[in-house]
């Protein structure tokens, strides 16, 4: 518990988490308002529509999670931490847990705020959470944010440089996966196994996707998609812990 408290204090003692949380909320809710406000009869507002912009918030959360560890490497505080607590595995697990919990809470706030915006702007639309799929579309955003934060911490610890870690995460999520999915012949086969695509499908599968969103045929259901995304993040964290225990701080 002491180690968790230390990691919480270190995280909130810098400005970047606060700015990232505000940015995630502003960007997601702003795009949700824009999408909802410009929707017409051809694309009626649905529960899924209110969550389409959550991917933008996820990108901000990835940056926040990466900064949580790369900032320590930048200023050398990670060395003091490892000296005070020689068990590096415990340190990294505590840091990951704190960041993932914060990301999950932000995800839930962002998701229900976006849903609320849809209810206010389109009171006549059917936005009731009547099914398990509806609840997954909204409440599932927090789970994706939390798992994404685990993956971002792992990448940040491996790379140790803010620019490199943030670039790798954003380029992979926003560009590389799109390019790989567009490859002739093999694109459709590998698309279901791209981690951020799996995360997106967890939030969107089961219903009519919002305009511009694509849900490809998956060899697994929505919860299988989340399990796969979680498995990738967990594998990255295990590799990170092994590497961190073998190299100098």
Judged against a pLDDT cut of 70, whether residue 217 lies above it is answered with no
Task: Map tokens 């579309």 to a residue.
Answer: 137
Q: Considering only CA atoms, which of 94, 26, 93 is closest in space to residue 60?
A: 26
Query: What confidence tens digit (pLDDT) does each residue in 134-192 have?
Result: 999 999 999 999 999 999 999 999 999 999 999 999 999 999 998 998 888 887 888 88
pTM: 0.92
Query: What confidence tens digit (pLDDT) does each residue in 60-91 have?
Result: 999 999 999 999 998 888 888 888 888 899 99
How would you label 186-207 residue by residue, b for 16+ Cβ within 10 Å and e otherwise?
eeeeebbebbbbbbbbbbbbbb
Residue with more model confidence, 200 or 63: 63
Q: Considering only CA atoms, which of 140, 110, 115 is closest in space to residue 125?
A: 115
């Amino acid at each position: 518990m002491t180690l968790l408290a230390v990691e919480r204090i270190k995280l909130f003692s810098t400005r970047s988490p606060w700015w990232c949380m505000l940015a995630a909320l502003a960007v997601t809710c702003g795009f949700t308002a824009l999408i909802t406000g410009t929707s017409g009869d051809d694309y009626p507002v649905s529960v899924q529509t209110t969550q389409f912009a959550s991917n933008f918030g996820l990108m901000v959360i990835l940056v926040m999670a990466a900064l949580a560890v790369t900032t320590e490497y930048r200023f050398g505080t990670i060395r003091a931490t490892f000296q005070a607590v020689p068990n590096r595995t415990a340190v990294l697990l505590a840091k990951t847990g704190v960041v993932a919990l914060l990301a999950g809470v932000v995800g839930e706030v962002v998701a229900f705020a976006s849903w609320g915006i849809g209810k206010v702007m389109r009171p006549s639309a059917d936005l009731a959470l009547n099914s398990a799929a509806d609840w997954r579309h909204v409440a599932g955003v927090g789970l994706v944010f939390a798992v994404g934060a685990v993956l971002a911490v792992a990448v940040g610890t491996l790379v140790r440089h803010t620019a490199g870690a943030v670039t790798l995460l954003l380029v992979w999520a926003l560009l590389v996966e799109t390019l790989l999915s567009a490859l002739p012949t093999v694109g459709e086969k590998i698309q279901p196994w791209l981690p951020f695509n799996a995360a997106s499908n967890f939030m969107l599968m089961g219903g009519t996707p919002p305009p511009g969103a694509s849900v490809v045929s998956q060899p697994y259901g929505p919860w299988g998609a989340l399990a796969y995304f979680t498995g990738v993040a967990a594998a990255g964290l295990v590799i990170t812990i092994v590497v961190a225990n073998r190299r100098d701080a």
